[in-house]
């Protein structure tokens, strides 16, 4: 899921770093595919997909209810099973961490990992305890009755022992808690009743007694580049600016369009290009432009154009080994975008993730050209003129900027 080379603005310097063994002597990726970042790794360890693994999703502050969804394994693992601490488990991120801990003899793992006589030798030992915490928080959930226990056991009978072992699971949380754990897992988590979330017309689970208009922690933190303190109150900060606070003004150099990115509902993040049902709905994306700008610049609907910026003047991404991927795509003229703005949707334009041939164990896995269609123009986004290998940033929040790059379009 984490693929900085694909996801971050101005990502070409990342490729230079990941490709340089003097800067990164050993790069291990744990992934379900060979993506835009893991393609540069020295070793790729397989991981489990969402149907094979545990995951504890949080909720958004705008949700007034107390909720804790819990994803749990529902299919046998696709990768092979391995043995760590003498126990079978799917090869995965967790198996890798446990394997390193076993090899190095790290404390906090092994037969007494959770205390004397409480082992941490299998990923279940951690995740089942997390489920028990959810079950016992506040007013504990009731025990699952015999009908529920039977449903729980029978619905998991197809899973191998390395994934589901009732004896291991019960020992992980204690017999006194196991039926409460079953109660939670049968429901896919724990969810507050609708009526329990409200106190009259107000939410019952409030943020607390204090809302800070002044953030002392922020005010006491200094900008490492200037030595000045960050503002502790809501403040207007002119943008875009570099890390020293100097305004970045590219418009006067002919970059008269603002580049933004967005998501369409059927394609999100970097992974949905592998879903061919979704690709049948939208095989590729486009560069959206307002008709007024298209007429002014002499473009027609369907023209193939390249996006260029001040820090990527040739509109390409150098992916190594002498290969480049042009930041080019089909132009789509619409009225539903502000004049002066161009946009592309996320999820298309891959150069890895199956979009290129790769060799595994001496065998060539042929690429699927459907995965390289469309445009992913993050590499064009503006680099900080002071740092030079890092995109423009929101220094106070610590995030990168996706919406402050001035660009121009040229026919490809």
Alpha-carbon span 165 to 122, nearest angstrom:
11
> 304 is written with which tokens?
């193939």
Tokens of 384: 């900080």
pLDDT score of 217: 92
Pairing of strands 328-334, 341-345: unpaired
pLDDT tens-place values along the chain, 412 residues long: 678 999 999 999 999 999 999 999 999 999 999 999 999 999 999 999 999 999 998 888 788 888 999 999 999 999 999 999 999 999 999 999 999 999 999 999 999 999 999 999 999 999 999 999 999 999 999 999 999 999 999 999 999 999 999 999 999 999 999 999 999 999 999 999 988 888 888 888 877 777 789 999 999 999 889 999 999 999 998 889 999 999 998 987 889 999 999 999 888 777 889 999 999 999 999 999 999 999 999 999 999 999 999 999 999 999 988 899 999 999 999 999 999 999 999 999 999 999 999 998 999 999 999 999 999 999 999 999 999 999 999 888 888 999 999 999 999 8
Q: How far apart are CA 281 and CA 397, in angstroms?
A: 37
- CA–CA dist 183, 177 (Å, integer): 10
- Cα atoms found within 13 Å of the Cα of residue 221, Cβ hemisphere only: 13
Quote the pLDDT of residue 403: 93
The per-residue pLDDT for 160 is: 97
Instruction: Identify whether the C-beta of residue 320 lies closer than 8 Å to the C-beta of residue 292.
Output: no
Contacts for 207-212: CB closer than 8 Å, 24+ residues apart: 207/61
pLDDT of residue 206: 78
Q: Give the torsion sign (CA, 333, 338, 340, 345).
A: negative
Q: How far is the C-alpha of 377 from the C-alpha of 34, rounded, in Å?
A: 20
- Cα(346)–Cα(7) distance, integer angstroms: 9
Q: How far apart are CA 170 and CA 164, in angstroms?
A: 11
Residue with tokens 């305004």: 247
Domains and CATH numbers, the chain: 62-195 (no CATH), 237-411 (2.40.40.20)
Round to whole Å and give the CA distance between 166 and 161: 9
Q: What are phi and psi of 368, to 5 degrees?
A: -115, 110
């Amino acid at each position: 899921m984490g693929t900085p080379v694909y996801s971050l603005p101005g990502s070409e310097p990342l490729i230079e770093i990941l490709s340089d063994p003097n800067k990164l002597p050993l790069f291990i990726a744990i992934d379900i595919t060979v993506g835009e970042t893991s393609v540069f790794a020295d070793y790729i360890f397989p991981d489990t997909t969402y149907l094979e693994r545990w995951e504890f999703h949080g909720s958004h502050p705008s949700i007034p209810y107390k909720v804790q969804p819990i994803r749990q394994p529902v299919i046998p693992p696709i990768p092979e099973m391995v043995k760590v601490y003498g126990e079978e488990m799917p090869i995965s991120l967790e198996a890798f961490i446990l394997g390193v801990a076993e090899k190095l003899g790290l404390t906090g793992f092994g037969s007494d990992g959770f205390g004397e006589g409480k082992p941490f030798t299998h990923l279940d030992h951690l995740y089942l305890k997390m489920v028990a915490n959810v079950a016992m928080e506040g007013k504990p959930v009731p025990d699952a009755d015999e009908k529920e226990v039977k449903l729980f056991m029978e619905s998991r009978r197809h899973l191998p022992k390395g994934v589901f072992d009732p004896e291991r699971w019960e020992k992980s949380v204690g017999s006194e808690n196991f039926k409460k754990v079953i109660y939670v897992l049968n429901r896919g988590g724990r969810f507050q009743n609708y009526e329990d979330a409200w106190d009259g017309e107000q939410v019952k689970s409030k943020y607390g007694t204090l809302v800070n208009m002044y953030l002392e922690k922020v005010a006491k933190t200094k900008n490492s580049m200037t030595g000045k303190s960050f503002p502790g109150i809501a403040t207007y900060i002119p943008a875009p600016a570099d890390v020293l606070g100097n305004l970045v003004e590219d418009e006067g150099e002919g970059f008269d369009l603002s580049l933004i990115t967005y998501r369409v509902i059927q394609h999100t993040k970097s992974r949905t290009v592998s879903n061919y049902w979704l690709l049948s709905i939208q095989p590729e994306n486009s560069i959206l432009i307002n008709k007024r700008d298209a007429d002014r610049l002499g473009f027609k609907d369907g023209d193939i154009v390249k996006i260029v910026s001040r820090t990527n003047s040739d509109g390409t991404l150098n992916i190594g080994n002498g290969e480049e991927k042009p930041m080019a795509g089909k132009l789509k003229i619409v009225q539903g975008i502000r004049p002066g703005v161009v946009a592309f949707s996320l999820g298309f334009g891959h150069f890895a993730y199956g979009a290129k041939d790769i060799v595994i164990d001496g065998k060539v896995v042929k690429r699927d050209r459907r995965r390289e269609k469309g445009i992913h123009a993050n590499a064009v986004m503006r680099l900080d003129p002071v740092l030079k290998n890092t995109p423009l940033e929101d220094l106070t929040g610590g995030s990168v900027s996706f919406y402050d790059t001035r660009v121009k379009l040229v026919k490809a």
